[in-house]
């Protein structure tokens, strides 16, 4: 899954598309991450397709594209792929055309489901073939209960993602995962089919829409972004501008270890240095860093982090020994 990159070759030149998580990678709150707009423009100058990927099914792609344009990151509706779109694809691959679907989500999710030919229903009494859950700040207990009874009667169960929290300007708030857990409490031996990261459907849908054969996924969370890339057999770049940091990286299990490390998204345009390592277990990252990490402190951190990824596949248990253990 990992390609050797020449020391003077930009990292992005090894890929035909770059897929980005949004919060913590492209923007932080209402503002763009420094360098994000220049990096996106630079990728297009390298003839690399750009895709923006979000687990959020509550907003339609055009709203996401408008937000990106407002903060200076050029995008169109065709550049944005949401978990609602991936969920609609899953329904198409699973249900009969025109099947009845009970949507426990926002209008954006409902519109996506109906746009591919399914019949939206309002109640379990309409005998839906499937129940789909997406984040909805106005979700009510009667609606959740209706979904439970529909699933108990035989409806297939889908979820846009399992994120327990969602970031807001006021701090973390409950995500759709909490609503999914309310349904799961009634079905302890069942799990929904999930579209969003870290499950493969969302990234595969993005590949399909962009027509990409060899993309790289850029994320700031190891447990959703990097694991999602691993589950999709896709190379990944981990950046330090968002949720996870040094300690998380050092403690990462093999499936959550990125292919590349960079300080921010500009790493895609930088020459890639270092040499691949052959002593990690399957799915682990190579010992590589890009030139955005050429500063000696970054080199010390990189050596310290990767030296604690043992060939046995176990995370480091003595993180304080890392030479660059910082917050």
What is the full DSSP assignment across 196-246? STTSTHHHHHHHHHHT-SSEEEEES-IIIIIHHHHHTT-EEEEESSSS--H
Provide φ and ψ at 70, rounded to 5°.
-65, -30
Cis peptide before 68 (omega within 30 of 0): no
Least confident among 77-86, 204-213, 276-285: 276-285
Give pLDDT, residue 302: 58
Question: What tens digit of pLDDT does each residue of 37-58 get?
Answer: 999 999 999 999 999 999 999 9
Give mean pLDDT, residues 232-237. Answer: 96
Taking every pair of C-alpha atoms in the chain, what is the biggest distance, in angstroms?
65
Query: Residue 8 — pLDDT band, cuts 50, 70, 90?
Result: low
pLDDT grade for 201, boundaries at 50, 70 and 90: very high
Structural domains of the chain, with CATH: 11-55+199-321 (3.40.50.1000), 84-194 (3.40.50.1000)
Q: What is the pLDDT of residue 179?
A: 95
Phi, psi angles (nearest 5°) of residue 28 = -125, 110
pLDDT in tens, 244-268: 888 888 889 999 999 999 999 999 9
Q: Show which residues are catalytic.
A: 21, 23
Q: What is the pTM of this model?
A: 0.83
């Amino acid at each position: 899954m990992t390609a050797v990159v020449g020391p003077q070759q930009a990292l992005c030149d090894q890929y035909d598309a770059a897929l980005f998580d949004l919060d913590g990678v492209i923007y932080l709150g209402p503002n763009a991450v420094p360098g994000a707009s220049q990096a996106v423009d630079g990728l297009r100058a390298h003839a690399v397709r750009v895709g923006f990927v979000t687990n959020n099914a509550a907003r339609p792609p055009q709203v996401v594209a408008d937000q990106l344009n407002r903060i200076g990151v050029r995008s169109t509706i065709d550049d944005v792929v949401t978990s609602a779109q991936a969920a609609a694809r899953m329904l198409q691959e699973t249900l009969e055309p025109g099947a009845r679907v009970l949507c426990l989500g926002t209008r954006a999710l409902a519109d996506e489901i109906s746009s591919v030919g399914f019949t939206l229903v309002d109640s379990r009494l309409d005998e839906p073939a499937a129940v789909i859950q997406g984040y909805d700040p106005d979700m009510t207990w009667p609606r959740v209960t209706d979904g439970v009874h529909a699933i108990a009667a035989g409806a297939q169960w889908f979820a846009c993602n399992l994120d327990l929290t969602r970031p807001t300007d006021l701090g973390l708030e409950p995500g759709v995962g909490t609503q999914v857990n309310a349904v799961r409490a009634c079905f302890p031996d069942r799990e929904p089919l999930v579209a969003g990261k870290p499950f493969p459907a969302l990234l595969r849908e993005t590949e399909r829409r962009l027509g990409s054969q060899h993309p790289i996924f850029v994320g700031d969370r190891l447990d959703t972004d990097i694991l999602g890339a691993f589950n999709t057999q896709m190379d990944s770049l981990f950046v330090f501008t968002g949720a996870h940091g040094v300690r998380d990286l050092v403690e990462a299990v093999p499936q959550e270890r990125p292919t590349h490390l960079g300080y921010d998204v500009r790493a895609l345009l930088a020459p890639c240095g270092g040499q691949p390592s052959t002593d990690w277990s399957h799915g682990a990252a190579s010992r590589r860093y890009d030139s955005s990490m050429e500063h000696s402190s970054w080199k010390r951190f990189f050596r310290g982090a990767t030296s604690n990824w043992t060939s046995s596949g176990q995370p480091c248990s003595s993180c304080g020994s890392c030479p660059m253990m910082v917050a």
